[in-house]
Amino acid sequence: MNLSKMLAIAACCAAPVLMTGCATPTRYVPQGGTVAAVGGFSQDDIDYTVSQAVQSMLAQGRLRSEDGSRKVVVVENVVDDTLSRGAQSDALAEALGLSLRENLTNSGKILVFNKSVAQYATVRVDPQLTLHGRLTQRNLRQDNGDIQVEYSLNLQLVDLATGLEFWQKRIPLRKIADRANAM
Residue 12 confidence (pLDDT): 55
Q: Is the pLDDT of residue 34 over 70?
A: no
Model confidence at 14, pLDDT cuts 50, 70, 90, reads low
Q: Which helix (H) or strand (E) holds 154?
A: strand 147-159
pTM for the predicted model, two decimal places: 0.75
- Per the CB < 8 A criterion, the answer to whether 119 and 146 are in contact is no
- pLDDT for the residue 6: 53
Rounded CA separation 73/14 (Å)? 60
CB of 157 within 8 A of CB of 35? no
Note the helical H segments in the chain: 3-22, 43-59, 87-107, 115-118
Report whether pLDDT(38) > 90: no
104 contacts 110 by C-beta, under 8 angstroms = yes
Q: Residue 118 has what pLDDT? A: 86
95: which residues sit within 8 A by CB, 6+ positions away?
A: 43, 46
- Chain segment 152-168, per-residue pLDDT in tens: 999 999 999 999 998 99
**Least confidently predicted of 12-21, 113-122, 126-135:** 12-21
Spatial distance between the Cα atoms of 181 and 174, rounded to a whole number of angstroms: 14
66-114 pLDDT, tens digit per residue, is: 888 899 999 998 998 887 766 777 888 889 999 999 999 999 999 999 8
Give the model's pLDDT for residue 89.
73
What's the pLDDT score for residue 162? 95
Mean pLDDT rounded to a whole number for the chain: 82
Q: Does 33 have pLDDT greater than 80?
A: no
Give pLDDT tens digits for 48-58: 999 999 999 99
**Which pLDDT does position 165 carry in this prediction?**
93
